[in-house]
Chains A and B, each alone.
Chain A
Amino acid sequence: MAAEQRMVINGNDFSFTPGETILDVARRRDIDIPTLCHLKDAVPTGACRICVVDVQGARNLLPACVTPAAENMIVLTESPAVVRARRLILQLLLSSGNHNCAVRGSDGQDWTSFQLAVRSDDGSGELCPVWGDCRLQGLAYRYQVTGERFSATETAYPMETVNPFIVRDFSRCIQCGRCVQACNEIQVNNAIHVGYRGAKAKIIAAGDRPLKDSDCVFCGECVQACPVGALVEKDARYKVRPWTAQKVRTTCSYCGVGCQMYLHVQDEKVVKVSGVEDRTPNFGSLCVKGRFGFDFIHAPQRLTVPLIKENGQFREAQWEEALDLVAQRLGSIKQSHGPDAIGVLTSARITNEENYIANKFARAVLKTNNIDHCARL
């Protein structure tokens, strides 16, 4: 292993291994350097420069996410120059597009006309759909800036709503490129990239087509990566707010990968699903089924009461009656035809605990080894 080297951040002496960036070292020691474009497990692009820090002896501020840590380097992460630079970046980002959370202005001068314009673009009277869950908004508060310093720039592209899962709101895109990296470097679906140049830049699928006609497989990795409100789940947009929804961690119930996910619960309903970042086995990634295929939980077709068939028709029954009937019928078949005339098909869909109980039920109660599941099928 390479020899340990040392550097100083904000007056504290830290060791690091060569190859680490300033950001890596800082994060490891819980020093909070803000980032927007940086995406874990992707090659850093240095696109947004919000992570700039003051490195003693360097001519310019350096982006922490791409600058390698070096022996005896002395770094300040919140010097006046750093704060000035970050404020400027934020002001520029806030002035372009429909960033209508309350950070735009404090004097209220053109607030009303701006809100009205956004309202007509959005088709909603509410503030930005990711209010309270937006990195840009968070940083605007942290550095106390608004979008009023520069005159607003027009949004060049209309919203895309034609696919069933994701709303692409180009007016709120800050061109950080995280979605592109998420798509190409994390999920490797290679569906989107940066199209056009300069002020016309836009994140596009091949040929600037809607996602539904592209290679997109609706994994939603880009939605989870987007730090702002430019990519939002269609069904959750404006409906799910971070302060009203509870997150419950669980395991996906579709395929055998076993992705770790949060179920976002609002008013006793699962309203959104997101991947658990930084945890095995999926590190935040999900697929279209795991992320968007949760409607079955609250489907009206769910069974809610036991059913007993009489004369070829089902009728609703009380648990007591249904359980008694099952126990009595199984018992009498066991009695007259022997335990091996009965079988149990347990399930690849239920829990380990339940499979264990099914195994105990078949063997200890029915006294048969006729138990299997449908995984062969």
Chain B
Amino acid sequence: MTNTIGDIEDADVILVTGSNTTENHPVLSRHIKRAVSFKGAKLILVDPRRIKLARFAHLWLRQNLGTDVVWINGMMRVIISEDLYDQSFVETRTEGFDEMKKMVEKFTPEFVEEITGIPAADLVAAARLYAGAGAASILYCMGITQHSHGTDNVKSLANLAMLCGHMGIPGGGVNPLRGQNNVQGACDMGGLPNVYSGYQAVSDLAIAKKMEEAWGVTDLPTQPGLTVTQMVPKAHEGEFKALYIIGENPLVSDPDLNHAEQSLKHLDFLVVQDIFLTETAELADVVLPAKSFAEKDGTFSNTERRVQRIRKAVDPPGQAKDDWEILCEVATRMGFEMHYEDSEAIFNELARVTPSYAGISYERIEQDGLHWPCPTPGHPGTPILHREQFTRGKGLFHAIDYIPPAEQTDDDYPLYLTTGRVLYHYHTGTMTMKTDGLNERVPECFVEISPKDAALYELENGERVEIASRRGKIQARIQVSDKAVSGTVFIPFHFAGAAANRLTNAQLDPVSKIPEYKVCAVRLSRAA
């Protein structure tokens, strides 16, 4: 997030899109609801499903799946043609305005209505509301990123915020909500193929040199590596031989699961280090037992870039070890001595080589966490990014055209499928499904369908159906709900037994390599 969680209550207008916030980030959603209910803020919700936030929305736009670039460009066109944009911000802090302006020209409200299904008048109203706010915050999540053109969607939202000058101010910003607890930290710490910790490029020779000195090695690789979504097909082709998986369960979360499963089976050697014998671990050659968060010390970085402590509360079961300790043991056995006293010693080392964490220490975050960048021990942290300037200097507008989702419906697969999460479960369910109460609330997979579609396909609430896409099929119970929009069904992806990702499309966004979980074509039929 460019801004903080608490900051949401300072916004005059909040635009939420592609985030079912009350279910996926419940405690953050309270700030949205408080801002709207008690502080006079207005909520613009752009989401096809009737999620709970719709009750709080002043304007609710239900776009067709995969048409986000269109409505965002459309809003910008309204804002530019009515002269509602922040001219001084655009002039002093951005570049690329003219190209962007030319691009959005064709996105008239009528054109937008035709493609997105959003009534022209609503689009214009949303544009005016957003542009007219003193401070407006944009919040988004996987509903924006998990598309074959997710990067375009994200850039478009940044365009919109820059156009109106809603950046670098309290109550403003473009705020991606991180799904898992330490996604932010995994990225910050170099869990990415192209950067070391602190987003220092592996291809930058000066950085490579610095890391070589810090780590006492030579010949660090300078070619960016493969993303997970590239590793899987390579494993299938046989080029890729071994994978070391830590605390992840791609066999439920991967797109086009049937293919992923085949690929992992092709590996010569698979190590899985986890707290449970997950579906992925079942395929491993060696499984190593790790500690859970309650058994270890360390830090997590939350979605607002706040680095916070976790502390050991109980002993681990059996012989489970810290993930870092296991890695150090393997490294040492491979001839690279790695030893640390404790997690704090590791933190001190990473702070030395990571400029954005350099000023943070366990002592400083004993009570409240600190927001990176925090370059020096006296620095107060950075709750709001881009106050004076953007990371690259001037903010760059991107001229982005609309490209339809990779898969369209047709006679064989007449319905769109979108996947997501529910409040009571988490990711692939390995943790939440150990709590009976949570299972009692949501015991099994379901497919949510609008009353109209249910009637059309003659399906009853509670009935078991088979859902098939071009890649696979699963069974689930029908849940007729006015949350669903006609023409689209929704399935939560938590359940391994009826893994929605047997259906989804592995088509990747060309830049972020994120798969298109949010749109694919399916058909429903009564289960045999």
**Quick check: B177 and A307 within 8 Å, CB to CB?**
no
Contact check, A281 vs B306: say whether CB atoms are below 8 A apart: yes
Q: How far is the CA of A351 from the CA of B350 in the complex (A)?
A: 12
Chain B positions 250-305 with a Cβ under 8 Å from a chain A Cβ: 250, 253-255, 268-269, 271, 274-277, 281, 284-290, 292-296, 298-304
Binds B, one of A134-142, A199-207, A222-230, A321-329: A321-329
How many A residues face the partner with a CB closer than 8 A?
Answer: 108
Chain A residue contacts of B435, Cβ below 8 A: 292-296
Within 8 A of B (CB), among A265-295: 265, 268-270, 279-282, 285-290, 292-295
Residue of A nearest to B194 (CB): A369
Q: Which residue of A is nearest B329, CB measured?
A: A323
Report which of B281, B303, B311, B346 forms a contact with A258, defined as CB distance below 8 A.
B303
Q: How far, in whole Å, are A360 and B510 apart by their CA atoms in the complex?
A: 27
Partner of B191, one of A254, A285, A372: A372
Cβ–Cβ < 8 Å partners of A164 in chain B: 436-438, 440-441
Give B1-26 interface residues, CB cut-off 8 Å to A. 4-6, 22, 24-26
| Residues in A neighbouring B180, C-beta threshold 8 A | 254-256, 348-349, 375
A256 to B248, CA, bound (A): 16
Q: Does A97 contact B (CB under 8 A)?
A: no
Contacting chain B: which of A153-161, A171-179, A337-345?
Answer: A337-345
Most buried by A among B185, B219, B276: B185
Instruction: Give CA–CA (A132, B17) in the complex, Å.
Output: 46
Assess whether B432 is in contact with A343, with CB atoms less than 8 Å apart: no
A188 adjacent to B30 (CB under 8 Å)? yes
Partner of A349, one of B182, B221, B287: B182
Of the listed stretches A50-58, A79-87, A104-112, A297-305, name the one at the interface; the rest are far from the partner chain: A297-305
By CB atoms of chain B within 10 A, which of A163, A322, A340, A353 has the most?
A: A353
Please measure, in the bound complex, the distance between the C-alpha atom of A266 and the C-alpha atom of B452, giving whole angstroms: 52
A319 at the interface (CB under 8 A from B): yes
- CB pair A309 B284 closer than 8 Å: yes
| Given A217-B26, A359-B196: A365 in contact with B336 (beta carbons within 8 A) | yes
Contacts A369-B223, A377-B515: A296 and B196 contacting too (C-beta < 8 A)? no
What is the bound-complex CA distance between A328 and B333, given in angstroms?
8
Q: Which chain A positions have C-beta within 8 A of B430?
A: 296
A345 touches B189 (CB 8 A): no
B184 at the interface (CB under 8 A from A): yes
A353 touches B6 (CB 8 A): no
Specify which chain B residues have a CB less than 8 angstroms from the CB of A330 in the assembled complex.
242, 244, 269, 271, 330, 334
A40, CB-defined interface residue at 8 Å:
no
Rounded to whole angstroms, the CA-CA distance of A255 and B426 in the bound complex is 8
Determine the residue in chain A with the shortest Cβ distance to B433.
A296
A248 at the interface (CB under 8 A from B): yes
- Contact (Cβ within 8 A) B431 A296: yes
Quick check: B276 and A361 within 8 Å, CB to CB?
no
B230 to chain A, nearest CB (A): 9
A355 to chain B, nearest CB (A): 4
A304 and B228 contact, Cβ closer than 8 Å, known pairs A351-B299, A357-B327: no
Q: CA A119 – CA B262 in complex, angstroms? A: 60
Q: Is the CB of B248 within 8 A of A345?
A: yes
User: How far in angstroms is the closest Cβ of chain B from A247?
Assistant: 9
B106 contacts partner chain A, Cβ-Cβ < 8 Å: no
Q: Are B37 and A188 in contact (CB under 8 A)?
A: yes
Q: Are B240 and A367 in contact (CB under 8 A)?
A: no
Given A281-B302, A296-B431, A372 and B226 contact (CB-CB distance below 8 Å): yes
Chain A residue numbers with a CB within 8 Å of B330 are 323, 326-327, 330, 361, 365
What residues on B are CB-neighbors of A15 within 8 Å? none
What's the least CB distance linking B137 to chain A, in Å?
A: 15
Known: A303-B276, A348-B183. A251 touches B192 (CB 8 A): no
CB closest chain-A residue, reference B188: A352
| A-B residue pair count with CB separations less than 8 angstroms | 464
With contact pairs A251-B300, A285-B27, A341-B240 given, residues A375 and B187 touching in the complex (Cβ less than 8 Å): yes
A255 in complex: contacting residue of B25, B275, B336, CB < 8 Å: B25
B205 at the A interface (CB under 8 A): no
Determine whether the beta carbon of A256 is less than 8 Å from that of B177.
yes
A21 interfacial contact with B, CB 8 Å: no
Cβ contacts under 8 Å, B120 to chain A: none
B224 touches A255 (CB 8 A): no
For A368, give its contact among B225, B302, B424, B440 (CB under 8 Å): B225
Q: Is the CB of A371 within 8 A of B193?
A: yes
Inter-chain CA distance A343–B293, complex, in Å, is: 24
Q: Do B308 and A371 have beta carbons less than 8 Å apart?
A: no
The stretch of B318-326, B396-404, B458-466, B467-475 that contacts the partner chain: B318-326
Asked whether A377 and B317 contact (CB < 8 A) given A251-B310, A280-B6, A329-B242, the answer is no
Closest Cβ neighbor of B334 among chain A residues: A327
Residues of B within 8 A of A305 (CB): 289, 318-319
Partner of B298, one of A258, A323, A354: A354
Any chain A CB within 8 A of the CB of B125?
no
Q: State the CA gap A260–B513 with chains docked (Å).
A: 32
CB contacts (< 8 Å) of B177 on chain A: these are 256
The CA of A256 and the CA of B307, in the complex, are separated in Å by: 11
A298 to B317, CA, bound (A): 8
Cβ of B528 < 8 Å from any Cβ of A? Answer: no
- Which residues of B sit under 8 angstroms from A254, Cβ to Cβ? 180-181, 426, 431
Asked if A185 is at the interface (CB within 8 A of a chain B CB), the reply is yes
Is B181 within 8 A of A354, CB to CB?
Answer: no
Q: Is the CB of B274 within 8 A of A303?
A: yes
Residue in contact with B343 in the complex, picked from A257, A351, A369, CB distance below 8 Å? A351
Evaluate whether A343 and B289 lie within 8 angstroms (CB atoms) in the complex, with A301-B276, A376-B227 already known: no
User: Chain A CB within 10 Å — which of B223, B274, B292 has the most?
Assistant: B292
Q: How far is the CB of A318 from chain B (nearest CB, A)?
A: 9
Query: How far, in whole Å, are A153 and B426 apart by their CA atoms in the complex?
Result: 45
- Chain B 206-230 interface residues, beta-carbon cutoff 8 Å to A: 211, 215, 217, 219-221, 223-229
A251 B181 Cβ-Cβ under 8 A: yes
**CB distance A377 to B217 under 8 Å?**
no
Known: A185-B38, A188-B30, A289-B424. A361 touches B193 (CB 8 A): no
Whether A289 and B432, one on each chain, are in contact in the complex, defined by CB atoms closer than 8 angstroms, is yes
Q: Which of B178, B190, B194, B277 has the most CB of A within 10 A?
A: B190
- The distance from the CB of A203 to the nearest CB of chain B, in whole angstroms, is 20
Q: How far, in whole Å, are A240 and B347 apart by their CA atoms in the complex?
A: 35
CA distance A185 to B31 in the complex (A): 10
Q: Are B24 and A255 within 8 A (Cβ)?
A: yes
- Whether B314 lies near A297 (C-beta < 8 A) is yes
Is B245 touching A329 in the complex (CB atoms < 8 A)?
Answer: no
Q: Is the CB of B512 within 8 A of A369?
A: no
Q: Mark B27-38, 1 if CB is under 8 A from A, else 0.
A: 110100110011
Contacts of B274 on A, CB cut-off 8 Å? 303
Provide the bound-state CA to CA distance between A319 and B293, in Å.
21
- In the complex, chain A residues whose CB is within 8 Å of the CB of B354: 356
Asked if A370 and B33 sit within 8 Å, CB to CB, the answer is no
Known contacts A251-B300, A363-B220; 16 further A-B pairs (Cβ under 8 A): A249-B309, A257-B302, A270-B314, A296-B435, A303-B276, A322-B288, A341-B240, A343-B240, A348-B180, A353-B346, A360-B215, A367-B221, A369-B223, A372-B225, A377-B253, A377-B517
| 17 A-B residue pairs with CB within 8 Å | A187-B30, A248-B312, A250-B309, A256-B302, A257-B25, A257-B28, A280-B369, A295-B436, A304-B318, A349-B248, A349-B293, A354-B327, A358-B327, A369-B202, A371-B225, A375-B178, A375-B183
